[in-house]
Amino acid sequence: MLRRLRAGDRAGAGEAILMWNRPAAIIPRRQGEFDQFRTPYETTLPRARRSDAQPVAAPVERPSSPSSARPAGARACGTGGAAGR
């Protein structure tokens, strides 16, 4: 699959996903991965399997809080400084 993708053959790479079909119980998962590969997230959210009624929930992006940001030049704990000398 990766060889085809690197060569620019996206359709072939998608078909190669379906070649990994053993054990047979994994086929629905591979079909879902094939669908995810072909469909951009902007179009629709992916489903884990084709038979799933609902798409997989989108990850929640958390805004970074200003209190967690360090000022420029500040070091993380335990990286030296006066206490580490």
Residue 22: which residues within 8 A CB-CB, separation 6 or more?
Answer: none
Q: Would the pLDDT of 37 be above 70? A: yes
Q: pTM value?
A: 0.54
Q: Among 8, 27, 10, 9, which Cα is nearest to 18's?
A: 27
Higher pLDDT, 54 or 75: 54
The residue written with tokens 């967690």 in the block is 68
Mean pLDDT of the chain, nearest integer: 79
Q: ∠ at Cα 66 (62, 71), nearest 5°?
A: 130
Higher pLDDT, 23 or 54: 23
**pLDDT attached to residue 50:** 82
- Looking from the CA of 29 toward its CB, the CA atoms found within 13 Å total 7
* pLDDT band for position 5 (cuts 50, 70, 90): very high
